[in-house]
Structure 1
Protein backbone atom coordinates (compact mmCIF):
# COMPACT_ATOMS: atom_id res chain seq x y z
CA UNK A 1 0.00 0.00 0.00
CA UNK A 2 1.58 3.35 -1.03
CA UNK A 3 1.96 6.00 1.66
CA UNK A 4 -0.70 8.75 1.72
CA UNK A 5 0.08 11.96 -0.09
CA UNK A 6 -0.20 13.92 3.16
CA UNK A 7 1.83 12.50 6.05
CA UNK A 8 1.03 14.48 9.18
CA UNK A 9 4.15 13.38 11.06
CA UNK A 10 6.40 14.71 8.31
CA UNK A 11 4.52 18.03 8.36
CA UNK A 12 5.22 18.83 12.01
CA UNK A 13 7.26 22.05 11.65
CA UNK A 14 9.96 21.33 14.25
CA UNK A 15 10.56 17.66 13.37
CA UNK A 16 12.70 16.07 10.67
CA UNK A 17 12.02 12.45 9.65
CA UNK A 18 15.03 10.73 8.09
CA UNK A 19 16.01 7.30 6.81
CA UNK A 20 14.13 4.88 4.57
CA UNK A 21 14.04 1.77 6.75
CA UNK A 22 10.86 2.67 8.61
CA UNK A 23 7.35 3.82 7.79
CA UNK A 24 4.54 5.25 9.85
CA UNK A 25 0.85 4.71 9.06
CA UNK A 26 -0.65 8.21 8.91
CA UNK A 27 -4.16 6.96 8.12
CA UNK A 28 -4.30 4.55 11.07
CA UNK A 29 -2.96 7.30 13.33
CA UNK A 30 -5.72 9.68 12.28
CA UNK A 31 -8.37 7.07 12.90
CA UNK A 32 -7.07 6.35 16.39
CA UNK A 33 -7.09 10.07 17.22
CA UNK A 34 -10.63 10.55 15.88
CA UNK A 35 -11.85 7.81 18.22
CA UNK A 36 -10.54 9.84 21.18
CA UNK A 37 -11.99 13.10 19.90
CA UNK A 38 -15.42 11.47 19.56
CA UNK A 39 -15.51 11.01 23.35
CA UNK A 40 -15.15 14.76 24.02
CA UNK A 41 -18.34 16.69 24.78
CA UNK A 42 -18.91 19.25 21.98
CA UNK A 43 -18.85 22.96 22.78
CA UNK A 44 -16.88 22.58 26.03
CA UNK A 45 -13.42 24.11 26.27
CA UNK A 46 -10.57 21.81 27.36
CA UNK A 47 -6.90 22.40 27.90
CA UNK A 48 -4.91 21.06 24.97
CA UNK A 49 -2.26 19.58 27.26
CA UNK A 50 -4.92 17.67 29.20
CA UNK A 51 -5.90 15.88 26.00
CA UNK A 52 -2.26 15.17 25.14
CA UNK A 53 -1.66 13.79 28.65
CA UNK A 54 -4.80 11.64 28.51
CA UNK A 55 -3.73 10.05 25.22
CA UNK A 56 -0.25 9.41 26.59
CA UNK A 57 -1.77 7.73 29.64
CA UNK A 58 -4.43 5.63 27.90
CA UNK A 59 -3.18 5.14 24.32
CA UNK A 60 0.52 6.05 24.08
CA UNK A 61 1.12 3.80 21.05
CA UNK A 62 -1.59 5.49 18.93
CA UNK A 63 0.84 5.86 16.03
CA UNK A 64 3.21 2.96 16.78
CA UNK A 65 1.13 -0.19 16.91
CA UNK A 66 4.20 -2.31 17.74
CA UNK A 67 5.09 -0.15 20.74
CA UNK A 68 8.72 0.14 19.61
CA UNK A 69 10.30 3.58 19.99
CA UNK A 70 13.83 2.91 18.78
CA UNK A 71 13.42 2.41 15.02
CA UNK A 72 12.11 5.76 13.76
CA UNK A 73 14.84 8.27 12.93
CA UNK A 74 13.30 11.57 13.94
CA UNK A 75 15.12 14.60 15.23
CA UNK A 76 14.31 18.19 16.00
CA UNK A 77 15.19 20.58 13.18
CA UNK A 78 17.88 22.39 15.19
CA UNK A 79 19.44 19.27 16.74
CA UNK A 80 21.43 16.34 15.33
CA UNK A 81 20.47 13.77 17.99
CA UNK A 82 17.65 11.38 17.12
CA UNK A 83 14.66 11.18 19.45
CA UNK A 84 14.85 7.44 20.20
CA UNK A 85 13.06 5.88 23.15
CA UNK A 86 9.75 6.36 24.94
CA UNK A 87 11.28 9.17 26.99
CA UNK A 88 10.93 11.35 23.88
CA UNK A 89 7.19 10.67 23.53
CA UNK A 90 6.21 14.26 24.19
CA UNK A 91 8.71 15.57 21.63
CA UNK A 92 7.39 13.29 18.87
CA UNK A 93 3.89 12.02 19.63
CA UNK A 94 3.03 15.09 21.68
CA UNK A 95 4.28 17.40 18.94
CA UNK A 96 2.21 15.51 16.36
CA UNK A 97 -0.95 15.84 18.46
CA UNK A 98 -0.42 19.58 18.94
CA UNK A 99 0.10 19.99 15.19
CA UNK A 100 -3.08 18.05 14.34
CA UNK A 101 -5.12 20.08 16.84
CA UNK A 102 -3.93 23.51 15.72
CA UNK A 103 -3.53 22.47 12.07
CA UNK A 104 -5.70 20.02 10.09
CA UNK A 105 -8.47 19.54 12.66
CA UNK A 106 -8.84 23.30 13.12
CA UNK A 107 -8.53 24.09 9.41
CA UNK A 108 -11.31 21.59 8.67
CA UNK A 109 -13.58 23.18 11.27
CA UNK A 110 -13.72 20.12 13.54
CA UNK A 111 -12.04 21.98 16.43
CA UNK A 112 -12.00 25.54 17.70
CA UNK A 113 -8.81 26.62 19.42
CA UNK A 114 -8.49 29.39 21.96
CA UNK A 115 -6.57 30.90 24.86
CA UNK A 116 -7.00 29.55 28.38
CA UNK A 117 -9.10 31.69 30.69
CA UNK A 118 -10.75 33.55 27.85
CA UNK A 119 -12.21 31.07 25.41
CA UNK A 120 -11.34 33.24 22.43
CA UNK A 121 -11.22 31.61 19.05
CA UNK A 122 -8.07 31.60 16.97
CA UNK A 123 -6.64 34.99 16.19
CA UNK A 124 -7.08 36.64 19.58
CA UNK A 125 -4.29 37.55 21.98
CA UNK A 126 -2.65 34.95 24.20
CA UNK A 127 -1.30 31.44 23.64
CA UNK A 128 -3.76 29.13 21.88
CA UNK A 129 -3.71 26.31 24.41
CA UNK A 130 -7.37 25.27 24.63
CA UNK A 131 -9.73 23.45 22.28
CA UNK A 132 -13.33 22.46 21.85
CA UNK A 133 -15.13 20.17 19.43
CA UNK A 134 -17.46 22.17 17.20
CA UNK A 135 -21.01 21.08 16.36
CA UNK A 136 -19.83 20.47 12.82
CA UNK A 137 -16.93 18.39 14.13
CA UNK A 138 -19.21 16.38 16.44
CA UNK A 139 -21.55 15.54 13.56
CA UNK A 140 -18.60 14.56 11.37
CA UNK A 141 -17.09 12.33 14.08
CA UNK A 142 -20.46 10.63 14.52
CA UNK A 143 -20.88 10.15 10.77
CA UNK A 144 -23.98 12.36 10.69
CA UNK A 145 -24.94 15.23 8.36
CA UNK A 146 -24.51 18.74 9.70
CA UNK A 147 -26.61 21.79 8.92
CA UNK A 148 -25.76 25.34 9.87
CA UNK A 149 -28.57 27.82 10.51
CA UNK A 150 -26.72 31.08 10.05
CA UNK A 151 -27.67 34.48 8.59
CA UNK A 152 -26.56 35.17 5.01
CA UNK A 153 -22.85 36.01 5.00
CA UNK A 154 -21.65 39.45 4.03
CA UNK A 155 -19.89 39.57 0.66
CA UNK A 156 -16.20 40.43 0.47
CA UNK A 157 -15.28 42.25 -2.72
CA UNK A 158 -11.88 42.55 -4.32
CA UNK A 159 -10.61 44.12 -7.51
CA UNK A 160 -9.04 42.31 -10.41
CA UNK A 161 -6.10 40.18 -9.19
CA UNK A 162 -6.02 42.09 -5.91
CA UNK A 163 -5.60 40.69 -2.45
CA UNK A 164 -8.90 40.26 -0.64
CA UNK A 165 -9.87 39.37 2.90
CA UNK A 166 -11.50 36.03 3.63
CA UNK A 167 -11.96 34.04 6.85
CA UNK A 168 -8.99 31.91 7.76
CA UNK A 169 -11.18 28.97 8.76
CA UNK A 170 -14.20 29.97 6.73
CA UNK A 171 -15.56 28.64 3.49
CA UNK A 172 -16.41 30.33 0.23
CA UNK A 173 -20.14 29.81 -0.19
CA UNK A 174 -20.87 31.24 -3.64
CA UNK A 175 -19.77 33.55 -6.40
CA UNK A 176 -22.32 36.26 -7.16
CA UNK A 177 -21.87 39.56 -8.91
CA UNK A 178 -18.12 39.36 -8.57
CA UNK A 179 -18.35 38.90 -4.79
CA UNK A 180 -17.00 36.07 -2.68
CA UNK A 181 -19.36 35.10 0.13
CA UNK A 182 -17.35 33.72 3.03
CA UNK A 183 -18.49 32.17 6.28
CA UNK A 184 -16.88 32.13 9.73
CA UNK A 185 -13.31 32.42 11.00
CA UNK A 186 -10.87 35.29 11.37
CA UNK A 187 -9.73 37.50 8.46
CA UNK A 188 -6.79 36.34 6.39
CA UNK A 189 -5.29 37.70 3.18
CA UNK A 190 -4.51 35.76 0.04
CA UNK A 191 -4.07 36.49 -3.69
CA UNK A 192 -6.48 35.38 -6.39
CA UNK A 193 -5.18 33.75 -9.53
CA UNK A 194 -6.42 34.87 -12.93
CA UNK A 195 -8.62 31.74 -13.05
CA UNK A 196 -10.73 33.13 -10.21
CA UNK A 197 -11.47 36.43 -11.95
CA UNK A 198 -14.37 35.50 -14.20
CA UNK A 199 -17.45 37.42 -15.24
CA UNK A 200 -20.79 36.44 -13.79
CA UNK A 201 -22.25 33.74 -16.06
CA UNK A 202 -25.22 34.52 -18.22
CA UNK A 203 -28.69 33.41 -17.19
CA UNK A 204 -29.32 29.80 -18.05
CA UNK A 205 -25.66 28.86 -18.25
CA UNK A 206 -24.06 26.45 -15.83
CA UNK A 207 -21.57 27.96 -13.43
CA UNK A 208 -18.13 26.45 -13.38
CA UNK A 209 -15.59 26.33 -10.60
CA UNK A 210 -17.99 26.66 -7.71
CA UNK A 211 -15.99 25.56 -4.64
CA UNK A 212 -17.05 22.70 -2.48
CA UNK A 213 -16.83 23.21 1.25
CA UNK A 214 -16.98 21.15 4.39
CA UNK A 215 -15.33 18.17 6.05
CA UNK A 216 -14.37 15.04 4.11
CA UNK A 217 -16.37 11.89 4.61
CA UNK A 218 -15.81 10.37 8.06
CA UNK A 219 -14.31 7.17 6.68
CA UNK A 220 -12.10 8.84 4.08
CA UNK A 221 -8.37 8.05 4.53
CA UNK A 222 -7.54 11.74 4.55
CA UNK A 223 -10.23 12.60 7.06
CA UNK A 224 -7.82 14.37 9.38
CA UNK A 225 -5.66 16.03 6.76
CA UNK A 226 -5.82 19.59 5.46
CA UNK A 227 -3.75 22.29 3.94
CA UNK A 228 -4.20 26.01 3.73
CA UNK A 229 -3.17 26.52 0.11
CA UNK A 230 -3.12 30.28 0.66
CA UNK A 231 -1.38 32.24 -1.98
CA UNK A 232 -1.52 29.54 -4.63
CA UNK A 233 -4.86 30.28 -6.19
CA UNK A 234 -5.48 26.53 -6.36
CA UNK A 235 -6.99 23.90 -4.09
CA UNK A 236 -5.26 20.63 -3.37
CA UNK A 237 -7.06 17.35 -2.90
CA UNK A 238 -5.54 15.33 -0.08
CA UNK A 239 -5.70 11.58 0.02
Structure 2
Protein backbone atom coordinates (compact mmCIF):
# COMPACT_ATOMS: atom_id res chain seq x y z
CA UNK A 1 0.00 0.00 0.00
CA UNK A 2 1.12 3.56 -0.63
CA UNK A 3 1.02 6.31 2.05
CA UNK A 4 -2.44 7.37 0.86
CA UNK A 5 -3.82 3.89 1.52
CA UNK A 6 -4.06 2.90 -2.13
CA UNK A 7 -2.45 0.08 -4.05
CA UNK A 8 1.20 0.55 -4.96
CA UNK A 9 1.38 -0.41 -8.67
CA UNK A 10 5.12 -1.10 -8.61
CA UNK A 11 4.82 -3.39 -5.60
CA UNK A 12 1.99 -5.26 -7.32
CA UNK A 13 4.04 -5.62 -10.50
CA UNK A 14 7.05 -6.88 -8.54
CA UNK A 15 4.92 -9.45 -6.74
CA UNK A 16 3.17 -10.70 -9.89
CA UNK A 17 6.42 -11.04 -11.80
CA UNK A 18 8.37 -12.67 -8.96
CA UNK A 19 9.16 -16.40 -9.23
CA UNK A 20 6.44 -18.47 -7.63
CA UNK A 21 8.50 -19.57 -4.57
CA UNK A 22 9.53 -15.98 -3.89
CA UNK A 23 5.94 -14.77 -4.22
CA UNK A 24 4.70 -17.43 -1.79
CA UNK A 25 7.33 -16.40 0.73
CA UNK A 26 6.30 -12.75 0.33
CA UNK A 27 2.65 -13.64 0.94
CA UNK A 28 3.51 -15.69 4.01
CA UNK A 29 5.67 -13.01 5.57
CA UNK A 30 3.22 -10.23 4.74
CA UNK A 31 0.43 -12.08 6.55
CA UNK A 32 2.62 -13.16 9.46
CA UNK A 33 3.74 -9.61 10.25
CA UNK A 34 0.56 -7.71 9.33
CA UNK A 35 -1.31 -5.95 12.16
CA UNK A 36 -3.97 -4.80 9.69
CA UNK A 37 -5.00 -8.34 8.77
CA UNK A 38 -6.86 -9.12 11.99
CA UNK A 39 -7.80 -12.79 11.83
CA UNK A 40 -10.07 -12.68 14.88
CA UNK A 41 -12.18 -9.89 13.43
CA UNK A 42 -12.21 -11.55 10.00
CA UNK A 43 -13.23 -14.96 11.30
CA UNK A 44 -16.55 -16.22 9.86
CA UNK A 45 -19.41 -16.56 12.32
CA UNK A 46 -18.24 -13.84 14.71
CA UNK A 47 -19.05 -10.15 14.76
CA UNK A 48 -16.87 -7.75 16.74
CA UNK A 49 -18.27 -4.68 18.45
CA UNK A 50 -16.69 -1.82 20.34
CA UNK A 51 -13.23 -0.27 20.39
CA UNK A 52 -11.28 -3.05 22.12
CA UNK A 53 -7.96 -4.10 20.63
CA UNK A 54 -6.29 -7.43 20.12
CA UNK A 55 -2.86 -8.28 18.75
CA UNK A 56 -3.11 -10.59 15.71
CA UNK A 57 0.67 -10.87 15.42
CA UNK A 58 0.93 -12.11 19.00
CA UNK A 59 -1.78 -14.70 18.35
CA UNK A 60 -0.03 -15.97 15.21
CA UNK A 61 3.34 -16.22 16.91
CA UNK A 62 1.84 -18.07 19.86
CA UNK A 63 0.18 -20.51 17.49
CA UNK A 64 3.46 -21.11 15.66
CA UNK A 65 5.18 -21.76 18.99
CA UNK A 66 2.54 -24.39 19.77
CA UNK A 67 2.86 -25.89 16.30
CA UNK A 68 6.61 -26.23 16.74
CA UNK A 69 5.89 -29.19 19.03
CA UNK A 70 4.20 -31.10 16.19
CA UNK A 71 6.70 -33.51 14.55
CA UNK A 72 7.20 -33.18 10.79
CA UNK A 73 5.47 -35.66 8.48
CA UNK A 74 3.02 -36.56 11.25
CA UNK A 75 -0.73 -36.19 11.02
CA UNK A 76 -2.06 -34.51 14.17
CA UNK A 77 -5.60 -34.34 15.46
CA UNK A 78 -6.86 -30.78 15.17
CA UNK A 79 -9.28 -31.16 18.07
CA UNK A 80 -6.55 -32.66 20.29
CA UNK A 81 -4.21 -29.80 19.40
CA UNK A 82 -6.82 -27.18 20.29
CA UNK A 83 -7.78 -29.00 23.49
CA UNK A 84 -4.14 -29.11 24.64
CA UNK A 85 -3.82 -25.35 24.22
CA UNK A 86 -7.07 -24.82 26.10
CA UNK A 87 -5.71 -26.86 28.99
CA UNK A 88 -2.23 -25.35 29.20
CA UNK A 89 -2.31 -21.93 27.48
CA UNK A 90 -5.91 -20.67 27.40
CA UNK A 91 -4.88 -17.00 27.43
CA UNK A 92 -2.49 -17.24 24.48
CA UNK A 93 -4.06 -14.19 22.81
CA UNK A 94 -5.61 -12.47 25.84
CA UNK A 95 -3.73 -9.66 27.62
CA UNK A 96 -3.54 -10.54 31.34
CA UNK A 97 -5.87 -13.50 30.67
CA UNK A 98 -8.78 -11.07 30.39
CA UNK A 99 -11.76 -12.91 28.88
CA UNK A 100 -14.34 -10.18 29.51
CA UNK A 101 -13.14 -7.09 27.63
CA UNK A 102 -13.67 -8.19 24.03
CA UNK A 103 -17.17 -7.79 22.66
CA UNK A 104 -17.72 -10.63 20.21
CA UNK A 105 -21.12 -11.83 19.13
CA UNK A 106 -22.14 -15.12 17.55
CA UNK A 107 -23.70 -14.18 14.21
CA UNK A 108 -26.14 -17.08 14.15
CA UNK A 109 -27.50 -16.88 17.70
CA UNK A 110 -26.79 -13.22 18.44
CA UNK A 111 -25.29 -14.20 21.81
CA UNK A 112 -22.30 -12.32 23.21
CA UNK A 113 -19.29 -14.56 23.78
CA UNK A 114 -17.68 -13.06 26.87
CA UNK A 115 -15.99 -15.08 29.56
CA UNK A 116 -13.73 -18.09 29.59
CA UNK A 117 -16.75 -20.38 29.23
CA UNK A 118 -16.84 -19.32 25.57
CA UNK A 119 -13.16 -20.15 24.99
CA UNK A 120 -13.84 -22.83 22.39
CA UNK A 121 -16.23 -20.60 20.42
CA UNK A 122 -13.68 -17.77 20.25
CA UNK A 123 -10.08 -18.75 21.00
CA UNK A 124 -10.45 -22.38 19.96
CA UNK A 125 -12.31 -21.33 16.83
CA UNK A 126 -9.48 -18.93 15.99
CA UNK A 127 -6.90 -21.72 16.22
CA UNK A 128 -8.99 -23.96 13.97
CA UNK A 129 -9.49 -21.08 11.54
CA UNK A 130 -5.79 -20.20 11.40
CA UNK A 131 -4.76 -23.77 10.65
CA UNK A 132 -7.50 -24.65 8.18
CA UNK A 133 -7.51 -21.16 6.62
CA UNK A 134 -4.39 -18.98 6.35
CA UNK A 135 -1.80 -21.65 7.16
CA UNK A 136 -3.39 -24.06 4.71
CA UNK A 137 -3.80 -21.51 1.93
CA UNK A 138 -0.29 -20.13 2.40
CA UNK A 139 1.22 -23.59 2.02
CA UNK A 140 2.38 -24.22 5.59
CA UNK A 141 0.11 -27.15 6.42
CA UNK A 142 -1.96 -29.83 4.77
CA UNK A 143 -5.32 -30.79 6.23
CA UNK A 144 -7.38 -33.98 6.25
CA UNK A 145 -11.14 -33.81 5.67
CA UNK A 146 -13.56 -36.66 6.46
CA UNK A 147 -15.42 -35.84 3.25
CA UNK A 148 -15.47 -33.13 0.62
CA UNK A 149 -16.89 -29.91 2.05
CA UNK A 150 -16.55 -30.93 5.70
CA UNK A 151 -14.34 -29.30 8.32
CA UNK A 152 -10.73 -30.55 8.69
CA UNK A 153 -10.06 -33.04 11.46
CA UNK A 154 -6.28 -33.38 11.21
CA UNK A 155 -3.26 -31.54 9.85
CA UNK A 156 0.46 -31.91 9.23
CA UNK A 157 3.33 -29.70 8.13
CA UNK A 158 3.76 -29.35 4.38
CA UNK A 159 7.02 -29.99 2.58
CA UNK A 160 7.35 -26.21 2.10
CA UNK A 161 6.86 -25.29 5.76
CA UNK A 162 10.49 -25.55 6.84
CA UNK A 163 11.73 -23.16 4.17
CA UNK A 164 8.92 -20.66 4.75
CA UNK A 165 9.51 -20.66 8.50
CA UNK A 166 13.22 -20.06 7.89
CA UNK A 167 12.41 -17.17 5.58
CA UNK A 168 13.65 -18.81 2.38
CA UNK A 169 11.73 -19.58 -0.83
CA UNK A 170 10.49 -23.18 -0.84
CA UNK A 171 11.54 -25.66 -3.48
CA UNK A 172 9.32 -27.89 -5.56
CA UNK A 173 6.56 -25.51 -6.59
CA UNK A 174 5.30 -26.24 -10.12
CA UNK A 175 6.40 -23.68 -12.69
CA UNK A 176 3.81 -21.26 -14.04
CA UNK A 177 4.02 -22.34 -17.66
CA UNK A 178 0.43 -23.17 -18.61
CA UNK A 179 -1.59 -21.20 -21.15
CA UNK A 180 -5.05 -19.69 -21.20
CA UNK A 181 -7.90 -21.56 -22.87
CA UNK A 182 -10.21 -19.20 -24.79
CA UNK A 183 -13.53 -20.43 -26.18
CA UNK A 184 -15.75 -19.18 -28.98
CA UNK A 185 -18.47 -18.43 -26.40
CA UNK A 186 -16.34 -15.69 -24.85
CA UNK A 187 -15.14 -17.63 -21.85
CA UNK A 188 -11.50 -17.79 -20.80
CA UNK A 189 -10.15 -20.48 -18.48
CA UNK A 190 -6.89 -20.05 -16.60
CA UNK A 191 -5.42 -23.17 -14.97
CA UNK A 192 -3.44 -22.54 -11.76
CA UNK A 193 -0.22 -22.91 -13.75
CA UNK A 194 -0.91 -19.79 -15.83
CA UNK A 195 1.46 -17.00 -14.71
CA UNK A 196 -0.03 -14.75 -12.04
CA UNK A 197 0.64 -11.63 -14.10
CA UNK A 198 -1.38 -13.08 -16.98
CA UNK A 199 -4.28 -14.02 -14.68
CA UNK A 200 -4.25 -10.48 -13.30
CA UNK A 201 -4.29 -8.97 -16.77
CA UNK A 202 -7.05 -11.20 -18.12
CA UNK A 203 -9.17 -10.45 -15.05
CA UNK A 204 -9.09 -6.75 -15.93
CA UNK A 205 -10.91 -7.51 -19.20
CA UNK A 206 -13.36 -10.11 -17.93
CA UNK A 207 -16.12 -10.93 -15.50
CA UNK A 208 -15.18 -13.47 -12.84
CA UNK A 209 -17.21 -16.71 -12.94
CA UNK A 210 -15.54 -18.71 -10.19
CA UNK A 211 -13.61 -21.94 -10.60
CA UNK A 212 -14.62 -24.66 -13.02
CA UNK A 213 -12.84 -27.93 -13.74
CA UNK A 214 -9.75 -26.92 -11.73
CA UNK A 215 -9.38 -23.63 -13.59
CA UNK A 216 -10.23 -20.01 -12.92
CA UNK A 217 -13.16 -19.06 -15.15
CA UNK A 218 -13.65 -15.64 -16.74
CA UNK A 219 -16.09 -14.29 -19.30
CA UNK A 220 -15.65 -11.47 -21.80
CA UNK A 221 -18.76 -9.28 -21.73
CA UNK A 222 -19.67 -5.77 -22.92
CA UNK A 223 -19.72 -4.66 -19.29
CA UNK A 224 -16.26 -6.05 -18.60
CA UNK A 225 -14.86 -4.44 -21.75
CA UNK A 226 -16.42 -1.11 -20.75
CA UNK A 227 -14.80 -1.43 -17.33
CA UNK A 228 -11.45 -2.17 -18.96
CA UNK A 229 -11.81 0.79 -21.29
CA UNK A 230 -12.41 3.06 -18.30
CA UNK A 231 -8.96 1.95 -17.10
CA UNK A 232 -7.37 2.79 -20.44
CA UNK A 233 -7.44 -0.77 -21.79
CA UNK A 234 -8.72 -1.26 -25.33
CA UNK A 235 -9.95 -4.40 -27.14
CA UNK A 236 -6.69 -4.56 -29.09
CA UNK A 237 -4.83 -4.99 -25.80
CA UNK A 238 -7.03 -7.98 -24.95
CA UNK A 239 -6.41 -9.52 -28.37
CA UNK A 240 -2.66 -9.07 -27.92
CA UNK A 241 -2.84 -10.68 -24.49
CA UNK A 242 -4.77 -13.67 -25.83
CA UNK A 243 -2.44 -14.02 -28.80
CA UNK A 244 0.57 -14.23 -26.49
CA UNK A 245 -0.82 -16.42 -23.74
CA UNK A 246 -3.75 -18.51 -25.05
CA UNK A 247 -3.39 -21.90 -26.69
CA UNK A 248 -5.40 -20.51 -29.56
CA UNK A 249 -7.94 -17.75 -30.09
CA UNK A 250 -11.11 -18.78 -31.97
CA UNK A 251 -11.61 -16.53 -35.02
CA UNK A 252 -15.21 -15.83 -33.99
CA UNK A 253 -14.01 -14.54 -30.61
CA UNK A 254 -11.46 -12.30 -32.31
CA UNK A 255 -14.18 -10.85 -34.55
CA UNK A 256 -16.54 -10.32 -31.62
CA UNK A 257 -13.91 -8.39 -29.67
CA UNK A 258 -12.92 -6.34 -32.72
CA UNK A 259 -16.53 -5.51 -33.58
CA UNK A 260 -17.27 -4.46 -30.02
CA UNK A 261 -14.29 -2.12 -30.20
CA UNK A 262 -15.65 -0.59 -33.42
CA UNK A 263 -19.41 -0.59 -32.82
CA UNK A 264 -20.03 -1.31 -29.14
CA UNK A 265 -22.66 -3.80 -28.01
CA UNK A 266 -24.48 -5.24 -31.01
CA UNK A 267 -26.88 -7.60 -29.28
CA UNK A 268 -28.86 -7.48 -26.04
CA UNK A 269 -31.05 -9.95 -24.23
CA UNK A 270 -33.66 -8.58 -21.88
CA UNK A 271 -36.59 -9.79 -19.84
CA UNK A 272 -39.77 -8.27 -21.18
CA UNK A 273 -43.52 -8.22 -20.59
CA UNK A 274 -45.46 -8.53 -23.84
CA UNK A 275 -49.11 -7.63 -24.32
CA UNK A 276 -50.77 -9.71 -27.03
CA UNK A 277 -54.23 -8.64 -28.22
CA UNK A 278 -56.88 -10.32 -30.34
CA UNK A 279 -56.85 -7.88 -33.24
CA UNK A 280 -55.29 -4.65 -34.53
CA UNK A 281 -58.58 -2.91 -33.76
CA UNK A 282 -58.27 -3.77 -30.07
CA UNK A 283 -54.66 -2.57 -30.15
CA UNK A 284 -55.82 0.75 -31.58
CA UNK A 285 -58.31 1.19 -28.73
CA UNK A 286 -55.71 0.33 -26.10
CA UNK A 287 -53.20 2.79 -27.57
CA UNK A 288 -55.83 5.54 -27.34
CA UNK A 289 -56.61 4.69 -23.70
CA UNK A 290 -54.92 5.49 -20.39
CA UNK A 291 -52.83 2.35 -20.93
CA UNK A 292 -50.78 4.10 -23.60
CA UNK A 293 -48.32 5.54 -21.07
CA UNK A 294 -47.45 2.00 -19.94
CA UNK A 295 -46.77 0.69 -23.44
CA UNK A 296 -43.42 0.54 -25.15
CA UNK A 297 -42.11 -0.59 -28.50
CA UNK A 298 -44.61 -2.38 -30.79
CA UNK A 299 -43.66 -5.91 -31.81
CA UNK A 300 -46.35 -6.31 -34.46
CA UNK A 301 -49.95 -5.31 -35.19
CA UNK A 302 -51.26 -7.13 -32.10
CA UNK A 303 -48.23 -7.20 -29.76
CA UNK A 304 -46.47 -4.51 -27.76
CA UNK A 305 -43.94 -4.30 -24.93
CA UNK A 306 -45.25 -3.29 -21.50
CA UNK A 307 -43.16 -1.38 -18.99
CA UNK A 308 -41.81 -3.54 -16.17
CA UNK A 309 -44.09 -3.43 -13.14
CA UNK A 310 -47.10 -2.05 -15.03
CA UNK A 311 -48.85 -5.37 -15.62
CA UNK A 312 -51.65 -4.85 -13.08
CA UNK A 313 -52.32 -1.29 -14.26
CA UNK A 314 -52.67 -2.46 -17.85
CA UNK A 315 -55.00 -5.31 -16.84
CA UNK A 316 -57.21 -2.86 -14.92
CA UNK A 317 -57.44 -0.50 -17.88
CA UNK A 318 -58.18 -3.40 -20.24
CA UNK A 319 -61.04 -4.43 -17.96
CA UNK A 320 -62.39 -0.87 -18.05
CA UNK A 321 -62.31 -1.10 -21.85
CA UNK A 322 -64.26 -4.35 -21.72
CA UNK A 323 -61.40 -6.80 -22.24
CA UNK A 324 -60.45 -9.31 -19.55
CA UNK A 325 -56.80 -10.27 -19.62
CA UNK A 326 -54.47 -12.57 -17.73
CA UNK A 327 -50.78 -12.90 -16.93
CA UNK A 328 -49.30 -16.16 -18.20
TM-score normalised by L of structure 2:
0.47
Structure 1 segments, 4+ long, off by >4 Å, are: 123-127, 170-175, 192-197
C-alpha deviation, 1:17, in angstroms: 0.6
The secondary structure found in structure 2 opposite 1:54 is: helix
Give 1:76 deviation, angstroms. 0.5
Structure 1 residues 61-85: Cα deviation after superposition (integer angstroms, max 9, x where no partner): 1111310101100011022321111
Q: Relative contact order (alpha carbons < 8 A, sep ≥ 6): 1 or 2 greater?
A: 1
Q: Secondary structure of 1:100's partner?
A: helix
TM-score calculated relative to the size of structure 1: 0.63
Against the structure 1 CA distance between its residues 171 and 141, is the aligned structure 2 distance closer, same or farther, given a 3 Å change threshold? farther
User: Are 1:164 and 2:189 counterparts?
Assistant: yes
- Aligned partner of 2:156 in structure 1 is 132
Q: How many residues are paired up? A: 182
Which of 133, 138, 150 aligns to 1:108? It is: 138
Cα shift at 1:107? 0.8
User: 1:107-146: per-residue Cα shift (whole Å, max 9, x none)?
Assistant: 1011111125xxxxxx847542111110211222244553
For residues 188 and 153 of structure 2, the distance between their equivalents in structure 1, rounded to whole angstroms, comes to 31
Q: 2 CA distance for matches of 1:86 and 1:48? A: 20
Report how far residue 16 of structure 1 moved: 0.6
Q: Aligned to 1:131, what secondary structure does the other structure show?
A: strand
The whole-number CA distance in structure 2 between the counterparts of 1:90 and 1:110 is: 23
Equivalent position of 1:5 in the other structure: 36
Structure 1: unaligned runs, 5 residues or longer: 117-122, 179-185, 202-239
Kindly report which structure 2 residues correspond to 1:173-184, keeping only aligned pairs within 5 A, or say none: none
CA distance, structure 1, for counterparts of residue 197 and residue 160 of structure 2: 20
Q: Which runs of 5+ in 2 are unaligned?
A: 1-33, 202-212, 246-328
Question: CA separation in 2, counterparts of 1:56 and 1:141?
Answer: 25
Which of 50, 56, 73 is the equivalent residue of 1:43? 73
Q: 1:191 to 1:58 in 2, by over 3 A?
A: farther
Larger radius of gyration, structure 1 or 2? 2
Kindly indicate whether the alpha-carbon contact (under 8 Å) linking 1:38 and 1:138 is maintained by their aligned counterparts in 2: no
